[in-house]
Amino acid sequence: MELMEWFKGFPYLAFDVETPNSRSERMSAIGIARIENGVIVEESATLVNPQQPFDAFNVALTGITPRMARSAPIFPEIWEKIGPLFSRSILLAHNAPFDLSVLSKCLTDYDLEAPRYLPYCCTVRMGRRCYPELANHRLDTLCIRCEITLTHHQAGSDSRACAELFLDYLAHGLETRDFLRLYDRLERRTLSKKEIGALLAAAREQS
């Protein structure tokens, strides 16, 4: 069994989070874009009340102010609706370890249920393989190269752009199996190939 077989049939879910401060342990916004059969079939975005103070830098970057977030739902209310999508999807994010770390901190701090191991592909890593000639592989740079509309640091726009980039990479011949990783949300890190191999071996024994 290889990792891709473990998640055979899973749809893809691109997501992006914005944060209120340098601690990066809460969200001020989250956006998602779900892909099925090579098509974006669902999108949503919402502000999040982080229940934490805002830094001036983050306000300037995202345009989200404490006043705007004050009346927004807190993360557990949002997770009740989107949690099932995250639990049954291969996740996509640009610089995925950052977004996964913020997500994991929120899940832990609010004591919410979610799988321990989250399958994901990072669209930065894929972009480096697909477009090695670019000076950098930031989201805005790749969107210019691929002619994808982007309003940067708006969670809904960023998650949509991430999904479109992923579809572009597939159209250029990249394969999910070459970039699929597992994120341990409790330890907040990506598993090594050796650790993934051990999990797959255990799964084989149980099947």
pLDDT in tens, 73-115: 999 999 999 999 999 999 999 999 999 999 999 999 999 999 9
Q: pLDDT by residue (tens digit) across 129-169?
A: 999 999 999 999 999 999 999 999 999 999 999 999 999 99
CATH superfamily for 3-200 is Ribonuclease H-like superfamily/Ribonuclease H (3.30.420.10)
Rounded-to-integer distance, Cα 141 and Cα 63, Å: 21
Q: Which amino acid does the sequence have at 100?
A: L
Domain boundaries, the chain: 3-200
- Give the whole-angstrom CA distance, residue 60 versus residue 66: 12
Query: Of 31 and 202, which is predicted with more confidence?
Result: 31
Question: What are φ and ψ of residue 191, in 5° steps?
Answer: -70, 150
Structure tokens at 84: 């099932």
CA 73, CA 88: separation in Å to the nearest integer?
Answer: 23
Predicted confidence at residue 203, as pLDDT, reads 81
Supply φ then ψ for residue 169, to 5 degrees: -60, -45
Mean of all residue pLDDT scores within the chain:
96
Compute how many other C-beta atoms are within 10 angstroms of the C-beta atom of residue 31. 23
Q: How confident is the model at residue 49 (pLDDT cuts 50, 70, 90)?
A: very high
Rounded Cα gap, residues 78 and 81, in angstroms: 6
Can you tell me the distance from the alpha carbon of 111 to that of 21, in angstroms, rounded to the nearest whole number? 21
Q: What is the pLDDT of residue 206?
A: 79
Confidence bin at 1 (pLDDT 50/70/90): low
Q: Confirm whether pTM is higher than 0.75.
A: yes
Residues in Cβ contact with 143 at an 8 Å cutoff, skipping those fewer than 6 apart? 149, 150, 161, 165
CB distance 93 to 100 below 8 Å: yes
Tell me the sheet residues that pair with 43.
Answer: 33
Contacts of 113 (CB under 8 A, 6+ apart): 83
pLDDT for the residue 129:
98
> pLDDT at position 71, please?
95
For the ranges 56-65, 89-98, 198-207, the lowest mean pLDDT is seen at 198-207
